[in-house]
Structure 1
Amino acid sequence: MAYDLEEQEQLASLKAFWNQYGNLITWILIAALATFAGYNFWNRYQASQAGEASVLYGQLQEAIVKKDAALTARAAGDLESKYGKTAFAQMGALAAAKAAFEANDLKTAKAQLQWAIDHGDDEYQSVARLRLSGVLLDEKNYAEADKVISTGVQPQFAAEVSDRKGDILVAQNKLAEARTAYEAAYKAMAKAHPGRQLVQVKLESIGGTVPADPATETKPAA
């Protein structure tokens, strides 16, 4: 009988607790379930977007190989308008810009690179800025070419920025400043960097000297 009484007291306490807090608990559970469902939906949506974007990116690559400018532009435009938040759209803009540049369509190349700058992640923006600077350099728009890479480029691209600045300065016959820029680029590049030898050639061609690597410098006798 004592057990029954204790059980009844516990039941009464539970009912009182539920009357006071049950509605709140129910809403918390509903909110948690809704959040979980939303998270799962978003993951599925993102996966679906990436899958569709990858197919379209493949079509873009095929169009580039075929040198079909109209299809390339259409595929790049679809990637940017429908899947602009995916990496495929950013890669597509860079690829379409390269194809346009090689076809001497500088207007389209600049437009695609500007889209990558405006919508891309940090690294894609940096690459787009460097490439846009190169297009502007070809157009002899030196001030704008320098401006594009003077801000917004990630630190890991410092060597490439110095290299490009050297190119811009050489084009303006500012050789002393160009040598300083190329020296900075050379120092910032690892020995295995594919562009290091080219920077050396450019530096030496304007009367510069390759900076000695700290590891190979002769240390003074003790």
Structure 2
Amino acid sequence: MIQPTPDPALQALIDQSFTPVPLNLSEDGHTAHCSAHKLEKCDDCGVEFGITNRLSRLLVANPGLLCPPPSNVISQKLTQMVTATKDEGNTLFKSQKAALAIPKYSTAAMYAIQRPPWEANQFMREELSAVISNRSAAYFEVHDYISALADAETVIYIRKNWSKGHFRKAKALLGLGRYAEAADAVRLGLSFEPSNSVSRKARIYAEIVLTSGSYRNCSDSSRISNGHNKDATRSPQ
């Protein structure tokens, strides 16, 4: 095979910023570590081989791939695993079995983050944020408001412009009695999706609680009616 001639200007730029790094390979030759301490990430040596090693493991596990496929190629098998496991969690959640739904959502999240680095990052973000959002709702139902808040914050970090993450955060904050922060969270969510009717009702509820100084019980915070006496906040994705 004839190798293309590298562009001289690009090669000069690469050479200018290139710094050789001593390393050791694992016994199977699949992963790299610093030569001094045999660590994948070593602050003393100033090296971090985590991403490189992850790519190496993925390629080793998929010997049929001669090179990473284009970014628009999505692993359908992994998508099916995430969706099926999330749906199992949703079924349990809707059956008032939130505690049993939590590990299902955790497993679905674990599958979602296993996507190879050459797949579209946005796809993973949307998939993962939906699963973690549902787990936040499940944690809320079992009155674990700290975990519900942590998951909501994760959703916001992954997908800031999605109002549901801010709404999940507001619910968790209501459960913790942090009413002013809950109202702020919903306002921020509505700034991204001002037409979201559920979030608008949540904002009204949070502001009523904030101004009245009353909060009867945590179950009331989930009763933000959608006009049909149903809990509009309980439905997972």
**Could you state the TM-score of these two structures normalised by the residue count of structure 2?**
0.48
1:166 maps to 170
Q: 1 or 2 for the larger relative contact order (CA 8 Å, sep ≥6)?
A: 2
Identify which range, 108-117 or 143-152, moves more after superposition.
143-152
Rg (Cα) greater in structure: 1
Superposed counterparts of 1:1-222, under 5 Å = 83=77, 85=78, 87-120=79-112, 121-151=124-154, 153-191=157-195, 193-207=196-210
Maintained 8 Å contact 1:113/1:132: yes
- The separation in 1 between residues aligned to 2:80 and 2:197, in whole angstroms, is 25
Maintained 8 Å contact 1:186/1:199: no
Q: 1:155 to 1:122 in 2, by over 3 A?
A: closer
Maintained 8 Å contact 1:179/1:206: no
Maintained 8 Å contact 2:109/2:132: yes
Q: Deviations over 1:38-79 (max 9, x none)?
A: 579xx9xxxxx95xxxxxxxxxxxxxxxxxxxxxxxxxxxxx
Identify, as 1 or 2, the structure richer in helix: 1
| 1:158 positional shift | 4.0
| 1:89 positional shift | 1.7
| 1:167 positional shift | 0.8
Maintained 8 Å contact 1:159/1:185: yes
Gap runs ≥5 in structure 1 = 1-23, 26-37, 44-48, 51-82, 209-222
Does the residue aligned with 1:173 lie in a helix, a strand or coil?
Answer: coil
Q: Deviations over 1:66-121 (max 9, x none)?
A: xxxxxxxxxxxxxxxxx4x2x22211122111101122233431111001211113
- The separation in 2 between residues aligned to 1:147 and 1:196, in whole angstroms, is 19
Does the residue aligned with 1:167 lie in a helix, a strand or coil?
Answer: helix
Q: How large is the Cα RMSD of the aligned pairs?
A: 3.0
Q: Deviations over 1:133-186 (max 9, x none)?
A: 111111111111111232365325542222111111112222122111121122
- The separation in 1 between residues aligned to 2:161 and 2:80, in whole angstroms, is 21
Maintained 8 Å contact 1:98/1:109: yes
Q: Deviations over 1:19-46 (max 9, x none)?
A: xxxxx78xxxxxxxxxxxx579xx9xxx
Q: Structure 1 counterpart of 2:144, which letter?
A: N
Percent identity for Structure 1 against Structure 2: 15
